[in-house]
Amino acid sequence: MNGDLWWVPSVIVIGLVVAGVWALVGASRRRTRARLGQLSAAATELERRASSSLVRADDLVQDATDELSFAIAQFGESATRQFATALATSRRQLSDAFALQQKLDDAVPDSALERTRWNQQIVQLADEATGRLTNQARDFTAKRGVERNAPQQIDELRRRLDRVSDRVAGGTSTLTRLGLSYSAAALAPISGNVDRASTALDAARASADAAAARLAASEPVGEQLRATEHALFQATQLLDAIETGEDQLHRGFANLQKALDAAAGELAEARALRDAHEESDTSASLNQVISAAAAVQASLREPGRLADPAGDLVLLEAAMNGLDSIRSEARNRQLRLDNARTGLAGALLTARSQITVTRDFVAAHRGRVQAAARTRLAEAERQLALAAAEADPVTALDTARRAMTLATDADALARYDTH
């Protein structure tokens, strides 16, 4: 019996080997899944870091833009040139980073390697931009020496607050005066500036008061002084914009009046062209656009109307562009008529002369000239008669030229027949 079971040890050995192999394969698969999970987690973390860096850099660039404006106002352009250069460089880097993010977000499939490389580049660009601007902001904070000169700065800020506050009433008066001549749409860019400036001034006063209180308590005041500067800067720009806006409205209104005067001259020319044009359909088309343009012009000059120089100029230009298009076409058609009329006399004379020459040649060789030449000659005479009777000079000119061509063909055929 033992001899019959000789194969059992072999089966056991083979089973153990197979089990070992499967164990190794399973372990390998688990390690592979673990590595893939680690890679996926690392990629997710990298994407999160890239997004966070991009947002942080974008916010810092916006803050640095305002900070540069404040710095220029305080220290001048020469002292802030390095800051401006750093900001321009950081903006370029941020733009490059956003372009990479767009490639990650678009519908085009990306490989895992590409996504990793682009996210790493985003982090590098954003962090470099952030670090550069942070250093610049730190430098200008040090330059200000806010703690050392805080009492003098607070006094100066309060004086500036008083001066800017005095301008609020002037801004209100300007907007009221402009409202008598200009529409709400024209005033929209500056109509809320007084309220926004007043809000900014209230914030500036609150920050200045807070700075004074902290100074009395021997506490740092840099943040409060910067907030006061910022609010004052905003209020000043808003009030400056009212004055600039008034100048722009007046210049725009003057340009509109010039455009209306020019439109009146163009309408007069278009009416003269309409009245003198020989084609009724062209005159009708001209009359239609003239009426539309004249209606726009009249509405823009209506007494008591509140003007919107920019919008009104767009309306007028659109109406006059339509007029120019039809007027140009009408001029070309009239010029074609005039040129045809000028060339018609010569064409008739040339065709008549060629017909006479051909007719005399056929008469001199009656028995030898065949029907083809005589047919073309007869048709040439018929076309010449039509040209002479035609009222439209363009059609008459074309017909006369056709008569000339037929007469020339008839002459060539007749001479061929006689050889």
Segment 267-314, tens digit of pLDDT: 888 888 787 776 677 778 888 888 888 888 899 988 989 999 999 988
List, for residues 3-60, the tens digit of each pLDDT value. 555 555 665 667 666 666 676 666 566 665 555 445 567 778 888 888 888 888 888 8
**Sign of the Cα pseudo-torsion (312, 318, 321, 323, in order):** negative
List, for residues 346-355, the tens digit of each pLDDT value. 888 988 999 9
Q: Return d(Cα 369, Cα 346) in angstroms, integer.
A: 29
Q: What per-residue confidence (pLDDT) applies to 98?
A: 86
More confident residue, 167 or 287: 167
Q: Return d(Cα 121, Cα 75) in angstroms, integer.
A: 35
Say if residues 176 and 126 touch (Cβ distance below 8 Å): no
Residue 337, token pair as written in the block: 């008529």
pLDDT, mean of residues 396-417: 89
pLDDT, mean of residues 145-174: 88
Say if residues 330 and 276 touch (Cβ distance below 8 Å): no
Q: What per-residue confidence (pLDDT) applies to 314?
A: 87
Say if residues 300 and 356 touch (Cβ distance below 8 Å): no
Say if residues 410 and 358 touch (Cβ distance below 8 Å): yes
User: Cα-flanking dihedrals φ and ψ of residue 307, to 5°?
Assistant: -85, 150
Q: Return d(Cα 39, Cα 46) in angstroms, integer.
A: 10
Residue 269, token pair as written in the block: 């020319």
Residue 75, token pair as written in the block: 């220290």
Q: What is the pTM of this model?
A: 0.52
- Please say if the pLDDT value at position 189 is more than 80: yes
Taking CA 43 as the corner, what is the angle to CA 42 and CA 45, rounded to the nearest 5 degrees? 65
Taking CA 74 as the corner, what is the angle to CA 68 and CA 75, rounded to the nearest 5 degrees? 85
**Sign of the Cα pseudo-torsion (405, 406, 409, 415, in order):** negative
